[in-house]
């Protein structure tokens, strides 16, 4: 039997203001092709299917189309909810969808209710003693909301995840009395050792939300979701990562998933599958003229760009000039080389030290563009301030 581990589709998400629905449709096309070409039996989706609890109509339509195409290609789908999903909405009609091969695991009551599949040529799992594969799903567990239901006193990610995995182990123990059980567990969580990126929204401070890896000991394979970088925490515990980059911190990620082969002896192989990126991401840094003229940056002309300018003074019309060469510059920052120490002082601190209105105006100009006002600019500001003062006096 062959499984395909995916997660964090985030359907409906945008990338720095650019809609990604077309790119997500292209990912679904690739996914369906892989299911057909690799003869995938089960597609695993470990949470964050949607990017928000109330997805748009077109976003819901994309998931509907994806599930129909995957099941038509011959695969079953096991899907859990993540922190971005509404577990109740995503789990709607789960019993009906199960008849079509889509198995939703979004409720606590379903933690120890696996999808059981035979690993031999035997019949359904209710007959005989053939080895079987049991696939469990742990949805995103918000400690404050589920601690009481899981019977734990401390509302922490560790305690609720431990309670969930203990329920699964208890079910495996019961089933193992009559046959060999190989287990796959989907979980949407932050496991110790995982490398995060900017596009996972902060859910804890100082790693408090992380759960130890040994909570997943004993399972044949744990398919994790939540972190967007594809990575292996151990041979049997892995993140598939998101299928698309959702922040520039993911520019060096190679997006993909994992193919898991299982037979009567257990997991026999885990191999990578890669998704083709619709657009390259470029993180560029340098002086404006160097970026506009350097041939080494030609590859970024068709990429989504994050650019940091290091010119000592902020160039005029920087974004417009950059977009003449890099039309999809989405993020522009400034980090002047050799900036004076005063330029790094917080603007509020400098404002508190300003003596008069002209000093405040000149200080703001310096803060924004990285250099002080020259004599002509100071004269214009002084003239404007005087005009405002006289207008106030005349009223």
Asked whether residue 203 carries a pLDDT value surpassing 80, the answer given is no
Place of tokens 């191999």: 271
The structural domains of the chain, with segments of one domain joined by +, span: 2-274, 279-338, 345-395
Mean pLDDT for 331-359 is 71
Classify each residue of 58-86 as buried b or exposed e, where b means 16 or more C-beta atoms within 10 Å of its C-beta.
ebeebbeebbebbbebebbbbbbbbbbbe
Per residue in 131-177, pLDDT tens? 999 999 999 999 999 999 999 999 999 999 999 999 999 999 999 99
* pLDDT at residue 342 in the model: 47
| CA pair distance 68, 62, nearest whole angstrom | 10
The architecture CATH gives domain 2-274: 4-Layer Sandwich (3.60)
Q: Quote the mean pLDDT of the chain.
A: 90
Task: Tell me the mean pLDDT in the region 102-114.
Answer: 96
Distance (Å) of CA 120 to CA 113, 117, 252, 266? 21, 9, 41, 12
Q: What's the pLDDT at 180?
A: 95
Residue 209's contacts (CB-CB under 8 Å, 6 or more residues apart) are: 157, 190, 203
Helix (H, G, I), strand (E, B) or coil at 131: coil
What are the pLDDT digits (tens) for 57-81? 999 999 999 999 999 999 999 999 9
| pLDDT band per the 50, 70, 90 thresholds, residue 355 | low
User: Are the C-beta atoms of residues 87 and 138 closer than 8 Å to each other?
Assistant: no
Reduced to 3 states, what is the DSSP secondary structure of residue 21?
Answer: helix
Residue found under tokens 């997805």: 55
pLDDT value of residue 379: 86
Give 351's pLDDT tier (boundaries 50, 70, 90): low
Backbone angles phi, psi at 394, to 5 degrees: -75, -15
Cβ atoms of 136 and 103 closer than 8 Å: no
The secondary structure of 269-304 as a DSSP string is: EEEEEEPPPSS-EEEEEE-HHHHHH-GGGGGGGGSE
Cα 294 to Cα 366: distance, rounded to the nearest angstrom: 29
**Sequence-separated (6 or more) residues with CB below 8 Å from residue 203:** 83, 190, 209
Which residues contact residue 78 at a Cβ distance below 8 angstroms, ignoring those fewer than 6 apart?
Answer: 42, 43, 44, 45, 103, 105, 115, 135, 137, 186
Q: Is the pLDDT assigned to residue 199 strictly greater than 60?
A: no
The structure tokens 């040529």 sit at 121
Helix axes 21-37, 57-72, angle to 10 degrees: 10
**Residue 106's CB: how many other CB atoms inside 10 A?**
24
The answer for residues whose C-beta is within 8 angstroms of residue 75's C-beta and 6 or more apart is 4, 35, 40, 41, 42, 43, 101
pLDDT score, position 206: 40
Residue 74 falls in which region: left (phi positive, over 0), alpha (psi -120 to 50) or beta: left
Residue 50 confidence (pLDDT) above 80: yes
């Amino acid at each position: 039997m062959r499984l395909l581990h995916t997660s964090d589709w985030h359907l409906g998400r945008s990338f720095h203001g650019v809609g990604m629905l077309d790119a997500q449709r292209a990912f679904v096309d690739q996914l369906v092709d892989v299911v057909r070409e690799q003869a995938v039996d089960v597609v695993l989706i470990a949470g964050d299917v949607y990017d928000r609890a109330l997805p748009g109509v077109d976003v819901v339509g994309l998931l509907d189309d994806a599930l129909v195409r995957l099941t038509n290609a011959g695969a079953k789908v096991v899907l859990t909810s993540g922190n971005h999903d509404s577990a109740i909405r995503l789990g709607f009609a789960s019993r009906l969808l199960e008849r079509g091969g889509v198995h939703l695991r979004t409720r606590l009551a379903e933690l120890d209710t696996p999808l059981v599949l035979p690993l031999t040529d035997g019949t359904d799992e209710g007959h005989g003693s053939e080895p079987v594969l049991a696939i469990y799903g742990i949805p995103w567990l918000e400690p404050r909301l589920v601690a009481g239901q899981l019977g734990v006193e401390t509302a922490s990610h560790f305690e609720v995840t431990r309670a969930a995995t203990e329920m699964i182990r208890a079910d495996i123990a019961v089933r193992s009395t009559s046959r060999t059980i190989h287990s796959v567990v989907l979980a949407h969580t932050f496991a110790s050792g995982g490398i995060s990126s900017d596009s996972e929204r902060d859910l804890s401070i100082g790693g408090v939300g992380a759960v130890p890896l040994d909570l997943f000991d004993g399972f044949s394979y744990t398919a994790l979701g939540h972190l967007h970088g594809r990575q292996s925490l151990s041979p049997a515990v892995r993140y598939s990562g998101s299928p698309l980059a959702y922040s520039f911190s993911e520019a060096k990620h190679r997006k993909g998933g994992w193919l898991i082969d299982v037979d009567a002896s257990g997991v026999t192989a885990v191999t990578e599958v890669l998704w083709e990126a619709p657009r390259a991401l470029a993180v560029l840094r340098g002086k404006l003229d160097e970026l506009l003229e350097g041939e080494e940056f030609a590859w970024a002309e068709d990429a989504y760009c994050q650019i940091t300018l290091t010119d000592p003074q902020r160039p005029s019309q920087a974004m417009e000039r950059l977009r003449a060469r890099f039309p999809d510059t989405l993020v522009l920052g400034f980090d002047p080389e050799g900036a004076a120490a005063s330029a790094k002082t917080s603007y509020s601190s400098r404002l508190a030290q300003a003596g008069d209105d002209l000093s405040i105006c000149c200080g703001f100009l310096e803060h924004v563009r990285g250099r002080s006002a020259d004599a002509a600019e100071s004269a214009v500001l002084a003239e404007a301030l005087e005009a405002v003062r006289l207008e106030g006096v005349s009223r």
